[in-house]
Amino acid sequence: MEDRNHLFFKCSFSSRIWKYIMGLCLASSVPDNWDLLLEWGIKNLKGRSFRATLCKIAWWATVYHLWQQRNARLHAGEMKLEENIIKAIRRDVRAKMEAVKAPASILHQTLCNNWNILLCTF
């Protein structure tokens, strides 16, 4: 039965994508249900820091692309590869984050390297 937790976390396809994306965000643990993801976000993504902004955008992009995949599969019988969904998420995050300026730091440089973002420093 399809529900929010199955669609975004319990399905092995979605789970692998979340683990990959959370790894790019340098998250040490990956929530395995919607409520835990919200708790994690509230605890770890406060404010407007470079990392918080990047993780929020990655979160939104992941939800969006997983939902798009669900609809394409359900309504058109189309199945995208995990790699293609991850590539689309990375593209969207990079497009949003390349205009964001951040102080130079090892954390910011690591995140930018993970996402292939040119870091604009101040």
Q: Where are the domains of the chain?
A: 4-121
For residue 30, the model assigns a pLDDT of: 74
Average pLDDT of span 8-25: 91
Instruction: Give the chain's mean pLDDT.
Output: 90
For residue 3, the model assigns a pLDDT of: 86
In DSSP terms, 116 is beta-bridged to none
Chain centroid to Cα 51, Å, comes to 12
For residue 122, the model assigns a pLDDT of: 61
Query: What whole-number distance in Å separates Cα of residue 59 and Cα of residue 104?
Result: 23
Q: What percent of the chain has pLDDT over 90?
A: 58
Distances in Å between the Cα of 7 and the Cα atoms of 34, 60, 61, 69 are: 10, 15, 15, 10
For residue 4, the model assigns a pLDDT of: 86
Average pLDDT of span 62-82: 92
Give the model confidence (pLDDT) of 33-71 as tens digits.
889 888 888 888 888 899 999 999 999 999 999 999 999
The SS3 call for residue 63 is helix
Q: Model-level pTM?
A: 0.89
Residue 112's identity, in one-letter code, is: C
Residue among 28, 30, 26 nearest 51 (CA): 26
Residue of higher predicted confidence among 57 and 2: 57
